[in-house]
Amino acid sequence: MQRKSFQIALAAVSCALATVFMAIGLNIPAAFATGYLFASISLMLPLAKDMRLGGFLAYAAASLLCLLFGGIQQFYKFVPFLAFFGLHPLVNYAEHRHGWNRWLIGAAKTVWFVGVMELTWWLFDRVLDITLPFAWMNEWIWVLIAVGGAVFFVFYDWLMMRCQKLVNYYVSKIDRTGGHRQPPVQPPRDDAEEIFGTANKEEQKDKEEEERKDSGDGH
Residues 180-204 pLDDT 10s: 444 444 444 544 444 444 445 555 6
| 118 and 145 Cβ atoms separated by less than 8 Å | yes
Each residue of 96-133: pLDDT tens digit? 888 888 899 999 999 999 999 999 999 888 888 777 88
Each residue of 30-40: pLDDT tens digit? 888 899 999 99
Residue 39 lies in a domain: yes
Domains held by the chain: number:
1
Please give the Cα distance from 19 to 41 (Å, whole number). Answer: 12
The most distant pair of C-alpha atoms in the chain lies apart, rounded to whole Å, by 102
Please state, in angstroms and as integers, the Cα–Cα distance from residue 23 to each residue in 30, 40, 61, 70, 81, following that order.
13, 13, 13, 7, 11
* Domain membership of residue 73 as a residue range: 2-179
Residue 216 lies in a domain: no
H helices within the chain, ranges in order? 2-27, 32-42, 52-66, 75-80, 88-98, 102-127, 137-179, 191-218
Phi, psi of 48 (to 5 degrees): -65, -20
